[in-house]
Amino acid sequence: MENKQIDILDILLILAKHKKFIVWTTLIASIAAVVYSLVVPFTWTSTAKILRVQQRTNNFSFNSSLLSMGANLLGGSLQSSNKDLITIMRSRTFSDDIINKFNLIEHFKITNSDKLVMMEKAIKALTSSVKIYEDNETGIITIEVTTEDKALSRDIANYYWQKLEYYNMNSRHSNAKMRREFIEKQLVEVENEIDKYSSDLEEFQSSNNLLELNKQIESIINIYSDMKAKEIALELDIEYNKLNRAANSLVVSSLENELSILRNKIETLKSNQPENSFLINLEEIPALALDYTKLLSKIQIQKTVYEFLYPQYEQARIDEVKDMPTIEVIDEAILAGQRTGPKRALICITVFVLTLLFTVLLSLLIDSFKAIDDGSIQSQKINEIRKYLKL
């Protein structure tokens, strides 16, 4: 107990020896802190709070596999997270726009001959003045802006969410519009193709006297078959009558004339100019059938593509209209009623305490070194003081 009292008395004696240094240094530092707190401009913080609007999820499906594939390719989920919004607001594009809009280079008193350097310094100053963070429980995004002008803090905080809303609406609307315009263009091309092939088919039918190719082919084959069967029957009848009648018999002559007429009709049917304009030439049936099938196939393909694109076009039109507000403003930033800084009392107390501790420790160190040089203090006492200083 006695040793502890002696140690404390020794320390007090050391501090008394250096009291002027301690008092004057602490006093000067405290006065400097007071002056600094009075000179430093006030800072004001304005806060805006926003909430992301939940975006729709578009899972558009169709009956056919082709349309389902198209829905997956052209549709899909459109969900964004708060991290995306925060990243957008912290982007270089946002920072440059805000700096230019509010002339922050002049506000932050940045001077340099190089404009790029000034912009970089302004971005750093803006970054240190703005805090954007998310409440994980509520999902609310908070935008805090601190500047030396309360109106500027309010305006910048509000401009952040206004620009974010404009960016989201413009970007998403542009994407939906581009998608709608792209599909619309494809639809127009498909419609033109259908019209072209339909015109080609109509011209093909008109030039070849076609109504319904399959029925016409069936009809001409039936007519041809009947004629050939009748031809064979007449030939047999003529042979029979030649055996039983005279060579110049009127019956044989009549049958031969009838056969000649029938054969002429058969040749006419097989030739390029049938008597009935709606009958198809037998020799042209393979080529006509091939060309007709090709035209029908082209039209059917374009119709299938059209059936695939049209629902996508309607969905794109809906998406273009639905891409409206993406954020909900919980609190707009208003003029700050109380300054954020400087915190004068905290500055003065902190400087006073730190300076006092520094001068006390420095006095003890100086005295200990002097004691070593003079040999006026025993080594054990020096060690004890050193241990105390370390503590």
Task: Quick: pLDDT tens for 230-264.
Answer: 777 777 777 767 777 766 777 778 878 888 887 88
| Better pLDDT: 16 or 121 | 121
User: Cα 355–358–361 angle (5° rounding)?
Assistant: 150
pLDDT of residue 337: 84
Sign of CA dihedral 342, 348, 350, 354: positive
pLDDT of residue 242: 75
Instruction: List, for residues 105-149, the tens digit of each pLDDT value.
Output: 999 999 988 999 999 999 999 999 999 999 988 889 999 999 999
Indicate if the pLDDT at residue 311 is higher than 90.
no
Of the candidates 31, 14, 40, 35, the residue with the CA atom closest to the CA atom of residue 355: 31
pLDDT of residue 56: 43
Mean pLDDT of the chain: 76
pLDDT of residue 128: 93
Helices (H), 133-212: 150-207
Enter the tokens of residue 271: 């030739």
Q: Are 58 and 72 in contact (CB under 8 A)?
A: no
The strand ranges marked E within 244-350 are: 327-331
Question: Which amino acid appears at position 282 of this protein?
Answer: L
pLDDT of residue 82: 78
Indicate if the pLDDT at residue 218 is higher than 70.
no
When pLDDT is cut at 50, 70 and 90, the band that residue 333 belongs to is very high
